[in-house]
Amino acid sequence: MVGDGDGWKTVPVSETIAAVTGGHRAIATAELPQVESCCTLIWRRQLRFPCATVFAALTEPARLERWMEGRVRADLRTGGRFLVDLGEGLIDGVVLELRPPECFAYSWGSSIVRASVAASKQDPGSSELNLAHHGLAVDHAASIGAGWEAFLDQLSDYLEGKELEPARQRVEHRSDLVRLYQRYLSDTLRR
């Protein structure tokens, strides 16, 4: 779909990824600037947990450390520092918005990550998580998109009490996702 003339187009990833993965599931929606060299990736997940539980998993350092498998320091107030050391990468940002249990946003370099949690309209007691990563350099979007996809799978498994995938397997899985995202972004930018 082409946007409202502001130079952005929104294309559902589900069309491309489902074709590549044999109907797996929608991964994200990408809003790609037609002229600029940055984009926004958006993920939507239905989670069978109340908003407060999902929000806590997204913001509380001890919970984040479990599913992200990194060290987390967070001053959870607007203007506070948000730091996640993943070993292979560092998220070093500032909390931009904090409205429990609805919204959490922070800077990550020159980009912004915003997670919003709302009660599911289809399934009482469940939540809809919308996570957007704005201002991504197109050159890095595939790698970061695949990383978020893997992390959101980990978040879901963590909330469901499942055993979390070991980091080595996650890296192998992420490599496959990077290729899917590269293909998707390449196809989208040619449209």
pTM of the model: 0.76
Q: What is the mean pLDDT of each run of 10 residues along the chain (191 residues)?
A: 37 39 39 58 94 97 91 94 87 94 93 95 92 88 85 92 76 74 73 60
Give CATH superfamily name and number for 8-190.
Answer: START domain (3.30.530.20)
pLDDT for 7: 44
| Closest residue by Cα to residue 64 from 126, 179, 152, 183 | 152
pLDDT for 191: 60
Domain range summary for the chain, segments of one domain joined by +: 8-190
pLDDT for 168: 57
pLDDT for 170: 65
Query: Is residue 61 classed exposed, middle or buried when 0-12, 13-18 and 19+ CB atoms within 10 A define those classes?
Result: middle
Task: Quote the CA–CA distance of 9 and 2 in Å, as a whole number.
Answer: 4
pLDDT for 3: 29
